[in-house]
Amino acid sequence: MIHLPNGGSTAERKLNCPGWTTAASGVPPKPSSQAAIDGSMHHMVQERCRLEDVDPATVLKWRICYREDKVSREFVEDDLLLSQLAFDATDRVLDEHDVDEFLVEPFVQLIPGDTGGSTDMLGLSSDRRTLVSLDYKFGRGVVNVERNAQLMFYPMCARHDPTTKHLFDKVERIVLVIIQPQRKGVCFQHVINITELDAFEVKYRAALESDEIKAGSHCKWCPAEPYCPAKRARVAGTNLLGREALDGLQDSADMLAETENWVNAMKAELYLQLNRGVPVAGWKIVEKKAAKKWTDAAAAATYLKSKHVAAKHITNPAALRTPTQVLAALKQMKKCVDIEAFFETKSSGTTLAQEDDSREAVITSDIPDNLAALVKK
């Protein structure tokens, strides 16, 4: 997939902080989270369904994998429900708006090589007066469809791209659609007209001509956030306690989530740099506290049943309880059953900790170019 400097997923950030791309230049890319990889896998499944004209159950039989760098994520049976919900919702949208022509993952550009990206789907109604701009979201976080900059970005680019501008010959309205199967309702829509798209384009082109850096709630997910002086000044200048009675309390409350996001971004960046071998005084990487995990859950369940341990102490409600939960239940029942052969106690990974933490630091290495300089800024 081609990623241009100005893309759909960063459109909202570009409108609010035109200079973010300059601020982020030189900041090494972060590895994708598991949630992002899962989402990319589901996107791939929807794409295959539409291109091959099959349903998710058929794609499941193909045992396809999403691959990113060294990560591989297979589409498995546990993923089928989310994919089917997204597939069915898409069918309903296409039927509702009488779409008889659609493009899957079209790559559209406003400014070749600089501004554009791939959208999940663009659909055109049979009377050619309605364009559907559809985007899948497979996370749980609420995404607002109204005036959604990402969904408006792609039609803006498409009506200037030589490969797609013919779609707009008669278009009078654009239906913005978010399909999010992990949210109640699954499908969310908002309609705009061409005049509103024109206004969006004027505002976006103005942002392209600016290099202003402005901090705000849009900073979340920005790679420059941990290093941004504007963000640091905004957080430092906020009175989170509202000292003057209730004066400014609402402003302080509004800043709580934004400040928390900034702190989390700082911690994530510290973890990333330390994990790459960049020394940061006062901090270290340590192993997470060890937890008990079953090595053979089925064998453990069978063994517990053979010792006449009631089902309610084994499962919750259908899945096997954790070793810690089972041990606590056995202790409460004063029942002597040795289950140590069925679990292991190990850390689930590493985490960030301050230097005075009693856990030993995990040794890391492999320092990428220019990271040390960035950390010192």
Whether 273 is in a domain gets the answer no
Residues 225 and 301 in one domain: no
Does one domain contain both 228 and 190? Answer: no
State whether residue 259 is helix, strand or coil. Answer: helix
Q: Is 110 exposed, middle or buried (0-12, 13-18, 19+ CB in 10 A)?
A: buried
Residue with tokens 């590493």: 350
Q: Does any domain span residue 283?
A: no
Say yes or no: 234 and 112 in one domain: no
Residue whose C-alpha is closest to residue 29's, from 371, 376, 377, 259:
371
CA distances from 372 to 32, 273, 352, 355, 366 (A): 22, 8, 18, 19, 12
Number of structural domains in the chain: 3
Sign, CA torsion 343/344/346/349: negative
Tell me the backbone φ, ψ of residue 349, rounded to 5 degrees: 150, -155
Q: Is 366 helix (H, G, I), strand (E, B) or coil?
A: coil
Omega before residue 317 within 30° of 0, cis: yes
Pairwise CA distance, residues 230 & 211, whole Å: 13
* Burial of residue 265, with CB atoms counted within 10 A of its CB: 0-12 exposed, 13-18 middle, 19 or more buried: buried
Q: Are residues 55 and 132 in the same domain?
A: yes
DSSP 145: -
Kindly state whether residues 241 and 334 are assigned to the same domain: no
- pLDDT score for 347: 75
Q: What is the pLDDT of residue 370?
A: 41
CATH of the domain at 103: 3.90.320
Instruction: Kindly state whether residue 355 falls inside one of the protein's structural domains.
Output: no
- For tokens 């609420």, name the residue: 142
Q: Answer yes or no: do 109 and 240 share one domain.
A: no
Token pair of 117, please?
């990206």
Are 171 and 46 in the same domain?
Answer: yes
Boundaries of domain holding 199: 8-208
Q: Is residue 272 part of a domain?
A: no
The answer to whether residue 201 sits within a structural domain is yes
pTM of the model: 0.72
> In the prediction, which pLDDT does 251 show?
67
Instruction: Provide the residue-wise pLDDT of the chain in tens; the chain has 377 residues.
Output: 678 999 999 999 999 999 999 999 888 777 888 889 999 999 999 999 999 999 999 999 999 999 987 788 999 998 999 999 999 999 999 999 999 999 999 999 999 999 999 999 999 999 999 999 999 999 988 899 998 999 999 999 999 999 999 999 999 999 999 999 999 889 999 999 999 999 999 999 999 999 999 999 899 889 998 888 898 888 877 655 545 545 566 666 777 778 888 888 888 888 888 888 888 888 888 888 888 888 888 888 888 888 888 888 787 666 678 888 888 888 888 888 888 888 888 777 888 888 878 788 887 654 444 433 433 33
Instruction: Specify whether the CB–CB gap between 314 and 251 falls below 8 A.
Output: no
**Whether 169 and 68 share a structural domain:** yes
Query: Which residues have a Cβ under 8 Å from the Cβ of 74 and sit 6 or more positions away?
Result: 41, 63, 64, 65, 66
Q: Backbone phi, then psi, for 236, in 5-degree steps?
A: -65, -30
Phi, psi at 357, each rounded to 5°: -65, 140
Pick the closest to residue 10 from 121, 114, 161 (CA basis). Answer: 114
Domain boundary among 161, 187, 208: 208
DSSP-derived letter for residue 28 is P
Listing DSSP states for 156-204 in one string gives HHHTTSTTTGGGGSS--EEEEEEE-TTSTTSEEEEEEEHHHHHHHHHHH
Predicted pLDDT of residue 141: 86
Q: Is the CB of residue 318 less than 8 Å from the CB of residue 369?
A: no
Residues 314 and 249 in one domain: no
- The predicted pLDDT at position 317 comes to 62
Query: Are 193 and 226 in the same domain?
Result: no
Residue 377 lies in a domain: no
**182 shares its domain with 99:** yes
